Amino acid sequence: MKTLCFLPLLATAVVGQSASNCRCLYNDPCWPSEDEFSQLQSNLSQPLIRPVPPASPCYPADDPSGNCTEVLQNAGDGRWLADQAGAMQSMNYQSFILPNGTIEACYVNASLGFPCEQGSIPPIGVDALSAEDIQAAVAFASQHNLRVVIKNTGHDLLGRSMARDAFMIWTHHLKNITYNPAFVPEGAPENETYDALTLQAGVQWFEAYDAAEANGRMLIGGVTNGGSVGSAGGWLLGGGHSAFSPQHGLGVDNVVQFTVVVASGEHLTANAHINPDLFWALRGGGGGTYGVVTSVTYRTHEVTPVISVLVNFNFSSPAVVTDVLSELFRIWPNLSDAAWGGYTITTRSTYTGIYVAPNMSLADVNATISPFFQFVQQTAGPANSSTSLTEFDGFFPWYQVLFGAEPSFAPNVFNREVVSRLYPREVLEDHERLAAAVANFTDQITIPHVAGAAVSKVDPDAMGLNPAWRSAMIHMVARANWADGLTADEIHSIEDRLRDELAVMEGLNPGGGAYLNEASLYELDFQKTFFGDHYERLESIKATYDPKDLFIVAEGVGSERWDASLNCKV
């Protein structure tokens, strides 16, 4: 691919900045001047962006700008939030807690009486519409030793696409989609073909699924309300799971090619034939770490029937959910072996199970799941429980019915952190112990049943993905939400509770792994927990393509060389 003529400038700039151990941040004396930003602008296809908090039209509270109504109507809409350069889906990552405990934020609820402040939102960035825009942004950031964040939709649950006083590369408007039923990866023999979709970095799953459906095919992708998660960014680079992963593998198992702008400014292709080391690292080595992905090519699959299995019940005591979860964990290994997938969501008063049985007859599914249905109804009581089976022609209509629309939430529930673990079959075999632990958690527990079967059949060393995925049977996540306006001490108390829950999770499988996209910022050994024995090789590959650590994210490869702010080397 063509490389723009930024390399001599880059080489000079890196040498000039090598004496500094810290990034240049907004308001530092080294921050680029407006003239220098104007020079950058001359190399871009779009005006520079100045991200602001999405709620800023609501301030001052007694004299809104006129757009506050739009904010209030859409604050729960993931697609709308994704369209705002300054928005995160977990709004706490827009905020910033100062060392003295003061919080800089801009809350949707302006009546709380706090000022609207920039918080962790970068003050300037590039709205990329081409690989050349990204190359110009990377060159500029390298020249000025800027802290870089790469952002698409803002779904990152560890806040890695925001950083205070940083420089943003926004890939959200790279929207091209190309279908090719006989795609040949670059450098591959002509007989190596794939029925494939190539998605640019800004394509979201609702757009990708529409394209796959229009071509009579199915894609393995994220399952969220409204499909607002990006299809070619952090979801994939961390592994990418789906309710249909037991049938067709994880996202990284379905990728045949990437294109990516690396720190040198080169726009590279990475696949099994060209830059295979980078291809290995990008499949599970984490987003925001090796470069800026510009496109991904996925293999597609034949559309097959789906049976949807739904279970809902309310309960009055932890004993009820303990018994039901214990039974679920007891039967799940057999279901997983048959490529069942789905999600269990439970709190201290409710249980929701959304499961899929792909390419099976209704009679077979009914025979398999009926004993569990009966167990739920006997344990929770028929008045408090409901169960159902529904036939769908394929993934797309199932997704449209269950997840096609965005949920309506009050705007103050979007502060969120999670902790998680991957659990292998052996942990589920002690199903009573696992169920008792889950029932005692304060926070909501989500169990994505997205491992086993096809996921377990891939060589653990075939790619950079955490090898723990290949022996995992379930992924378990504890999630804490909190309202806007809490003090720093109150937020830290929630974080302490999550740490305690994480310790319980770890105790169920000491030394186990976790999924780095839905995980904790409090890991004591993230290198092992997120990457297993692949970490050393991932570090080596990063050193090849990003020797100056231009791309650093929280708990990402190489981040241990930086301080807690990720602004200064230690």
Q: What band does 66 get if pLDDT is binned at 50, 70 and 90?
A: low
Regarding whether 288 and 214 lie in a shared domain, the answer is yes
Tell me the residue type at 553: V
Q: How many C-beta neighbours within 10 Å does residue 494 have? A: 18
> Tokens for 384?
């408090």
Task: For residue range 134-179, list pLDDT tens digits in order.
Answer: 999 999 999 999 999 999 999 999 999 999 999 999 999 999 999 9
Task: For residue range 534-549, list pLDDT tens digits in order.
Answer: 999 999 999 999 999 9
Distance CA 103, CA 390 (A): 48
Q: How many CA atoms lie within 13 Å of 529's alpha carbon, on the beta-carbon side?
A: 24
Domain of 20, in residue numbers: 7-172
Question: Is the per-residue pLDDT at 195 higher than 60?
Answer: yes
Residues of the chain with pLDDT > 70: what percent? 94
Regarding whether 154 and 77 lie in a shared domain, the answer is yes
Q: How far apart are the first and last CA of the chain?
A: 36
Tell me the residue type at 410: A
Distance CA 287, CA 370 (A): 41
| Closest C-alpha among 226, 228, 209 to residue 407 | 226
> Tokens for 8?
């001599």
Q: How many C-beta neighbours within 10 Å does residue 171 have? A: 28
Dihedral sign from CA coordinates of 240, 264, 295, 173: positive
Distance CA 116, CA 58 (A): 9
Q: What band does 61 get if pLDDT is binned at 50, 70 and 90?
A: low
Distance CA 166, CA 72 (A): 28
Is 406 part of any domain?
no
Largest CA distance in the chain: 73
Tell me the residue type at 41: Q
- Residue 289 sits at the vertex; the CA angle it makes with 285 and 295, to the nearest 5 degrees, is 85
Beta carbons of 84 and 71 less than 8 angstroms apart: no
Regarding whether 360 and 258 lie in a shared domain, the answer is no
The arithmetic mean of pLDDT across residues 25-44, rounded, is 98
Dihedral sign from CA coordinates of 243, 512, 516, 495: positive
Long-range contacts from 487-496, C-beta under 8 angstroms, 24+ separation? 487/101, 487/103, 488/97, 488/101, 488/102, 488/103, 489/101, 491/92, 491/97, 491/415, 494/417, 495/417, 495/522
Regarding whether 159 and 47 lie in a shared domain, the answer is yes
Is 455 part of any domain?
yes
Q: What is the CA radius of gyration of the chain?
A: 23
Is 559 part of any domain?
no
Tell me the residue type at 214: A
**Cα–Cα distance list, 140 to 7, 19, 178, 339 (Å):** 11, 18, 30, 47
The arithmetic mean of pLDDT across residues 394-421, rounded, is 82
Beta carbons of 218 and 141 less than 8 angstroms apart: no
The arithmetic mean of pLDDT across residues 11-29, rounded, is 67
Residue 248: partners with Cβ closer than 8 Å, 6 or more residues away: 218, 220, 242, 254, 301, 454
Regarding whether 214 and 125 lie in a shared domain, the answer is no
| Closest C-alpha among 92, 155, 168, 82 to residue 125 | 168
Question: Is the per-residue pLDDT at 17 higher than 90?
Answer: no
Is 437 part of any domain?
yes
Regarding whether 346 and 473 lie in a shared domain, the answer is yes
Question: Is the per-residue pLDDT at 4 higher than 50?
Answer: no
The CATH number of residue 223's host domain is 3.30.465.10
pLDDT averaged over the chain? 93
The CATH number of residue 486's host domain is 3.40.462.20
Q: Which of 155, 172, 189 is the last residue of a domain?
A: 172
Distance CA 252, CA 273 (A): 16
pLDDT, position 408? 55
- In the chain, the number of structural domains is 3
Q: What band does 451 get if pLDDT is binned at 50, 70 and 90?
A: very high
Distance CA 295, CA 196 (A): 13
Task: For residue range 320-352, list pLDDT tens digits in order.
Answer: 989 999 999 999 999 999 999 999 999 988 999
Regarding whether 375 and 484 lie in a shared domain, the answer is yes
Is 547 part of any domain?
no
pLDDT, position 333? 97
The CATH number of residue 69's host domain is 3.30.43.10
Tell me the residue type at 519: A
> Tokens for 288?
């925001």
Tell me the residue type at 196: A
Q: Is 164 helix (H, G, I), strand (E, B) or coil?
A: coil
Regarding whether 103 and 39 lie in a shared domain, the answer is yes
pLDDT, position 104? 97
Question: Is the per-residue pLDDT at 413 higher than 80?
Answer: no
Q: How many CA atoms lie within 13 Å of 139's alpha carbon, on the beta-carbon side?
A: 26
Residues of the chain with pLDDT > 90: what percent? 87
What is the residue whose two structure tokens read 């018994």? 323
Regarding whether 355 and 476 lie in a shared domain, the answer is yes
Regarding whether 334 and 477 lie in a shared domain, the answer is yes
Q: Which of 172, 189, 216 is the last residue of a domain?
A: 172
pLDDT, position 501? 96
Distance CA 95, CA 86 (A): 11
| Closest C-alpha among 198, 205, 211 to residue 299 | 198
Q: How many C-beta neighbours within 10 Å does residue 441 have? A: 22
Regarding whether 481 and 364 lie in a shared domain, the answer is yes
Regarding whether 96 and 40 lie in a shared domain, the answer is yes
Distance CA 161, CA 88 (A): 8
Alpha-helical (H) ranges within 387-459 are 395-403, 425-429, 431-439
Task: For residue range 286-322, list pLDDT tens digits in order.
Answer: 999 999 999 999 999 999 999 999 999 998 788 898 9
Q: What is the DSSP letter of 243?
A: T
| Closest C-alpha among 49, 14, 23, 4 to residue 267 | 4
Is 560 part of any domain?
no
Is 52 part of any domain?
yes
Q: Is 316 helix (H, G, I), strand (E, B) or coil?
A: coil
The arithmetic mean of pLDDT across residues 189-217, rounded, is 98
Q: Which of 248, 282, 302 is the last residue of a domain?
A: 302
Is 330 part of any domain?
yes
Residue 506: partners with Cβ closer than 8 Å, 6 or more residues away: 421, 512
Tell me the residue type at 281: A
Beta bridge partners of 258: 270, 296
Query: Where are any strands of DSSP class E within 325-372?
Result: 341-346, 350-358
Distance CA 501, CA 482 (A): 17
